[in-house]
A and B are shown apart, each in its own frame.
Chain A
Amino acid sequence: MDHKFDAKRIAHLASLSLNETEASSLNQQVDKILAAIDKMQTIDTTNIEPLINPLDYNTPLREDEVTETDQRDTLQKLAPKVSAGLYIVPQVIASANEDK
């Protein structure tokens, strides 16, 4: 298989940041891992159904009823920054009078 593992691109997709040394080291390591994984291509799996759950179970369903209780205060005690029940992060949307 032709590998196009580009550590910097994949890091962006995974919301990770890498410096040049880390990216170069990962490119080499992952290339070796992918070479080992390529063994999978040596067998024909046409018409074999993928196995997602080892027991082949379907997801069980339940009645559409509210069963969870409001635990916002308890859970937000764990948060780095909250205010008025909201999780606070750096501004995402620019204000109207900011330069674009």
Chain B
Amino acid sequence: MSDQMTIFELSNALAQKKISSVEITKRCLENIKKANPKLNCFITINEEQALQDASTADASIAKNENSILTGIPFAHKDIFCTKNIKTSCASLMLDNFIAPYDATVVTKMASAGMVSVGKLNMDEFAMGSSNEHSHYGAATNPWNKNVTPGGSSGGSAAAVAANLVPATTGTDTGGSIRQPASFCGVTGLKPTYGRVSRFGMIAFASSLDQAGPITKTAQDAAMVLQAMAGHDPKDSTSANEATPDYLATINDTIKNKTIGIPKQYFSEILDPEIAAAIEETIKVYENLGCKIKNISLPHTDLGVAAYYVIAPAECSANLARYDGVRYGYRCKDPKDLEDLYKRSRSEAFGEEVKRRIMLGTYVLSSGYYDAYYRKAQQIRRLVRDEFIKEFADVDFILTPTTPTCAYNLGQKQDPAKIYAGDIYTIPTNLAGLPGISIPIGFNKQQLPIGGQLIAPHFNEQMLLQAAHQYQQQTDWHLQHPQNILSDKE
């Protein structure tokens, strides 16, 4: 058994009884123990439960009562409530929180027979792009220990890139699946808003948040999305859309499909090495018979401005529940109720979270609501509508995932500058569209480069077909960082 095996390969090996889930899970747990001191991608490891679940999976397989995902180990971003297991959101505020119920995503993946091995590090409350804003310390990039894995699903991307588990769950509000997938050289899919239930997924920005898989390949992403997706009456924003069979259509030809290339994503801020990798990617798609069309998304740069009003505004409302009263952190010896609220929140939230709560509170405050929040929602409609207009003439859109590759940990950058780095991923969240990041190359420092595909609402099949067929022509997704699982540095 190789640590580099995909879910598709592991599933076949399990079905042919060449290997057991207990063996695979034990191997994952050994690798996690070896690598986690370097990568810091796991917050909690559930060894005993994982081995029990693996054993149950093996029994199912023996009776031929399994699904294609039965017995596959994976891990959840620590934003999903997992019953009786610590669910921290990488925050001191929830350091003592043992979730009393399972998120719908957790229930669905368990029902598919997948084996959860633990909970993954992230930026606190999903706010950040580097996994440095975690109460449990930064996660590191398996390609270079001095470099960020991205965020907020940094632990999720790092764990897959390091071959610790073949799949993880992440969440994406402004790019938090796609950007770390890009920085770590793995495949990360943000489904259409409403495709995957948000019940039990700790809320950051309710009109933007969406859960999705991070895997080594698009084929694996199709398998995991199949388990995660579906209408949930417990989530009032869950779309009442039937879930297609993603694997069944993944090899459908993309010949004669038209790919839109938006000029606004290729400005002076884009690293020339990334631009060159996109040019090569276009050639691959042309060889697959696709047509290329230059398109225009003129409100792209306004997307960042609108996002950094809407997301903090919604976060300030969603994080108001953390008040030290019913669960989570409470300060010592509060002298009155106001002191209890203020000190509990100030002591337990990190700097980035407090900054966004403050920004959100301001843009919603009396006298500023129309100029900021209402204006941002109007711009949101313009951003969404220009995508819909272009999708009348193109089947999917290709862009870089990020303007630069992963940067060094510990850089004390201006928050406004860091926020600007989300420019290529944010519009997709504002519009509610599905987007996937796939590895398309490496820069001179051997850091991964990611390319993003965006499709119309509820057309994840298009993304998976296009990503899978690209991966059948290239081998960027088959590259793996060295020495993670050895004692060498």
Contacts and interface: CB of A to CB of B under 8 A. Distances in A.
Interface of A: 1, 5, 7, 10-11, 13-18, 26, 29-30, 32-33, 35-41, 43, 45, 48-55, 57, 59-60, 62, 71, 74-75, 77-81, 87, 89-92
Contact of A53 (B237, B341, B371): B237
Nearest to A32: B416
A51 B305 contact: no
Task: Return the 10 tightest CB-CB contacts between A and B, nearest first.
Answer: A54-B432, A50-B377, A51-B381, A45-B378, A80-B330, A78-B327, A48-B378, A17-B342, A14-B361, A15-B341
Contacts of A10: 358, 361-362, 365
B345 A16 contact: yes
B26 interface: no
A55 B239 contact: yes
B48 interface: no
B207 A33 contact: no
Contact of A16 (B194, B327, B334, B358): B358
A82 to B, nearest CB: 9
B302 A5 contact: no
Contacts of A7: 358
B237 A48 contact: no
Given A16-B346, A37-B372, A29 B237 contact: no
A72 B233 CA distance: 23
Contacts, number: 162
Contacts of A81: 330
B323 A15 contact: yes
Contacts of A43: 299, 302, 379, 382
The binding surface of chain B is classed by DSSP as helix
B416 A48 contact: no
Contact of A37 (B308, B320, B343, B346): B308
A71 B336 contact: no
A36 to B, nearest CB: 5
Given A13-B365, A16-B354, A55-B193, A40 B379 contact: yes
B461 interface: no
Given A17-B346, A32-B415, A39-B305, 17 more contacts: A13-B361, A15-B320, A16-B357, A37-B308, A40-B372, A43-B379, A45-B379, A45-B382, A55-B457, A59-B236, A60-B236, A77-B100, A78-B327, A80-B324, A90-B337, A90-B340, A91-B336
B339 interface: yes
Contacts of A75: 100, 326-327
B379 to A, nearest CB: 6
Interface residues of B, number: 71
Contact of A30 (B302, B338, B358, B431): B358
A75 to B, nearest CB: 6
A40 B377 contact: no
Given A1-B371, A14-B361, A79-B327, A33 B419 contact: yes
User: Which of B309, B341, B378 gathers most chain A CB within 10 Å?
Assistant: B378
B351 to A, nearest CB: 9
B375 interface: yes
Contacts of B359: 30, 33
B358 A33 contact: no
Contact of A90 (B316, B339, B362, B416): B339
A80 B341 CA distance: 13
Interface string B312-333: 0000100010011111001000
21 contacts: A13-B365, A15-B342, A16-B349, A18-B346, A30-B358, A32-B415, A36-B416, A37-B308, A50-B374, A50-B377, A53-B432, A54-B207, A55-B193, A55-B194, A55-B237, A60-B233, A60-B236, A62-B233, A75-B326, A78-B327, A89-B325
B152 to A, nearest CB: 18
Contacts of A30: 355, 358-359, 362
A51 B362 contact: no
B386 interface: no
A57 B305 contact: no
A21 to B, nearest CB: 12
Contacts of B377: 50-52
B170 to A, nearest CB: 19
Contacts of A59: 236
Contacts of B340: 89-90
Nearest to A23: B358
B342 A16 contact: yes
A89 B337 contact: yes
A54 B306 contact: no
